[in-house]
Amino acid sequence: MTSERVHDVLRNGEPGSSVEIRGWLRTARHAKGLSFLDVSDGSCMNGLQVVAPPELPNFEREVRALTTGCAVRVGGELVESPGKGQRVELRAAEIEVIGTTGDDYPLQKKRHSFEFLRTIAHLRPRTNTIGAVWRVRNVASRAIHDFFQQRGFLWLHAPILTAADAEGAGEMFELADSEAFFGRPTRLTVSGQLEAEIGALSHTHVYTFGPTFRAENSNTSRHLSEFWMVEPEMAFCDLDGDAALAEEFLKAVIGTVLEECADDMAFFNERIEKGIVETLEHIVETPFERMSYTEAVAVLEQSGQDFEYPVRWGVDLQSEHERYLTEEHVKRPLVVTDYPAEIKAFYMYANADDKTVRAMDVLVPRIGEIIGGSQREHRVDVLERRMVAHGLDAEAYWWYLDLRRHGGAPHAGFGLGFERLIQFVTGMANIRDVIPFPRVPGSVEF
Shortest distance, position 395 Cβ to ligand ATP, whole Å: 24
CA atoms within 13 A on the CB side of 304: 2
CB atoms within 10 A of CB 248: 13
Shortest distance, position 2 Cβ to ligand ATP, whole Å: 41
Sign of the Cα pseudo-torsion (395, 397, 399, 403, in order):
negative
CA angle in degrees (0–180, nearest 5) for 320-325-327 = 85
Angstrom distances, CA of residue 76 to CA of 15, 41, 105, 210, 246: 11, 17, 28, 43, 49
What is the secondary structure of 157-180 as a DSSP string? ---SEESS-GGG-S--PBPTTHHH
Rounded Cα distance between 188 and 346, Å, is: 20
Of the pair 69, 417, the CB lying nearest ligand ATP is at 417
Q: Which residues of the chain form contacts with ligand ATP (CB under 6 A)?
A: 169-170, 214, 223-224, 227, 229, 369-372, 415-417, 419-420
Strand boundaries in 219-263, DSSP class E: 226-235
Shortest distance, position 96 Cβ to ligand ATP, whole Å: 43
Of the pair 227, 346, the CB lying nearest ligand ATP is at 227
Rounded Cα distance between 234 and 412, Å, is: 5
Angstrom distances, CA of residue 370 to CA of 147, 322, 382, 419: 18, 10, 29, 9
Of the pair 44, 364, the CB lying nearest ligand ATP is at 364
Of the pair 118, 214, the CB lying nearest ligand ATP is at 214
Shortest distance, position 26 Cβ to ligand ATP, whole Å: 31
Shortest distance, position 172 Cβ to ligand ATP, whole Å: 12
Of the pair 187, 214, the CB lying nearest ligand ATP is at 214
Buried b (16+ CB within 10 A) or exposed e, 210-228: bbbbbeeeeeeebbbbbbb
Strand order in the sheet with 411-417: 154-155, 205-213, 226-235, 411-417, 368-375, 356-364, 334-340, 289-292
Shortest distance, position 222 Cβ to ligand ATP, whole Å: 6
Nearest residue by C-beta to ligand ATP? 417
Shortest distance, position 193 Cβ to ligand ATP, whole Å: 9
Shortest distance, position 431 Cβ to ligand ATP, whole Å: 6
DSSP state of 270: I
Shortest distance, position 251 Cβ to ligand ATP, whole Å: 17
DSSP state of 89: E
Of the pair 45, 440, the CB lying nearest ligand ATP is at 440
Of the pair 265, 440, the CB lying nearest ligand ATP is at 440
Shortest distance, position 425 Cβ to ligand ATP, whole Å: 13
Of the pair 223, 386, the CB lying nearest ligand ATP is at 223
Beta strands 356-364; 368-375: pairing state: antiparallel
Beta strands 289-292; 334-340: pairing state: parallel
The answer for residues whose C-beta is within 8 angstroms of residue 390's C-beta and 6 or more apart is 168, 345, 346
Of the pair 228, 268, the CB lying nearest ligand ATP is at 228
Of the pair 45, 364, the CB lying nearest ligand ATP is at 364
